[in-house]
């Protein structure tokens, strides 16, 4: 299957700083990438849909000025958590959509564990 | 609204068989996925169903009934490493993935 690489896997940052998370599709072009957040013992929560060359579409309740998404190329999307607070500590996962055999599948990055201290 | 229901938690014994059910109500249907997620890791793909019936893949099988809005994941010969959360996700008419909350499966020796 397709490979999606997410970096870093773990990051600890101080309150008030910004953190950038990268998501790359290694062997296919992804016009659409998705950013999820997962709280402990909860399912994936879609934060935003990232479209190459255009603005991201944010889900209701997600602050677009706090979670900056850039999808500058067909293989790279970035999520920047700005002015991080401890409540932003979470597991962030990206996925890229690929169409094969007539259906759609989401391939996931490894996830990023963000801890804000 | 769109809704996917799975049991929150299940417990089974090593070597046994377990069936994890998923019912859904979505705007359109373009397939159903099952993913496995170990704690602290990203989900990994298990199966995809778009037509009614049973798809078998080794120890794992997945069943779909579109008319009933129902699917199940069947795990045979359970191993301790199968302890994980199992996520059901439906592709709706806009090709968006709608996620269930996941079923935490606990395997006991």
Subunit contact A44:B91, Cβ cutoff 8 A: no
pLDDT exceeds 60 at position A101:
no
How far apart are the CA of B21 and the nearest CA of chain A, in angstroms? 16
Mean pLDDT in residue range A36-49: 82
Identify the CA nearest to B2 among candidates B104, B95, B90: B90
Mean pLDDT in residue range A60-79: 92
The stretches of chain A forming alpha helices (DSSP H) are none
How far apart are the CA of A114 and the nearest CA of chain B, in angstroms? 12
Identify the CA nearest to B104 among candidates B11, B3, B5: B11
Q: What is the pLDDT of residue A43?
A: 72
Subunit contact A110:B91, Cβ cutoff 8 A: no
> Could you tell me whether strands B84-91 and B32-37 are parallel, antiparallel, or unpaired per DSSP bridges?
antiparallel
Mean pLDDT in residue range A46-50: 90
Q: How confident is the model at residue A29 (pLDDT cuts 50, 70, 90)?
A: confident
Q: What is the pLDDT of residue A104?
A: 60
Query: What single-letter DSSP state applies at residue A65?
Result: T
Q: Which among A49-58, B31-40, B55-64 has the top mean pLDDT?
A: B55-64
Give contacts of A109 with chain B, Cβ < 8 Å: 42
pLDDT in tens, B50-79: 899 999 989 999 999 999 999 999 999 999
How far apart are the CA of B17 and the nearest CA of chain A, in angstroms? 24
Partner B contacted by A14 (CB < 8 A)? no
């Amino acid at each position: 299957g397709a490979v999606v690489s997410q970096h870093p896997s773990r990051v600890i940052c101080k309150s008030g700083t910004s953190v950038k998370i990268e998501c790359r599709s290694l062997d296919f072009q992804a016009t659409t990438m998705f950013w999820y957040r997962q709280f402990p013992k909860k399912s994936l929560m879609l934060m935003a849909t990232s479209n190459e060359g255009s603005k991201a579409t944010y889900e209701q309740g997600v602050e677009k000025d706090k979670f900056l998404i850039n999808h500058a190329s067909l293989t790279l999307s970035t999520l920047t958590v700005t002015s991080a607070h401890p409540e932003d500590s979470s597991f962030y996962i990206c996925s890229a959509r690929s169409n094969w055999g007539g259906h759609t599948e989401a391939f996931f990055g490894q996830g990023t564990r963000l801890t804000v201290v | 609204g769109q809704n996917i229901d799975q049991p929150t938690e299940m417990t089974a014994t090593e070597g046994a068989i377990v069936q994890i059910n998923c019912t859904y109500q979505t705007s359109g249907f373009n397939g159903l996925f099952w993913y496995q997620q170990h704690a602290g890791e990203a989900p990994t793909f298990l199966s995809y169903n778009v037509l009614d019936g049973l798809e078998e893949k080794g120890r794992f099988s997945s069943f779909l009934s579109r008319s009933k809005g129902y699917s199940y994941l069947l795990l045979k010969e359970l191993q301790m490493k199968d302890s994980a959360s199992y996520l059901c996700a439906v592709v709706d008419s806009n090709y968006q993935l709608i996620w269930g909350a996941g079923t935490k499966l606990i395997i006991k020796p």
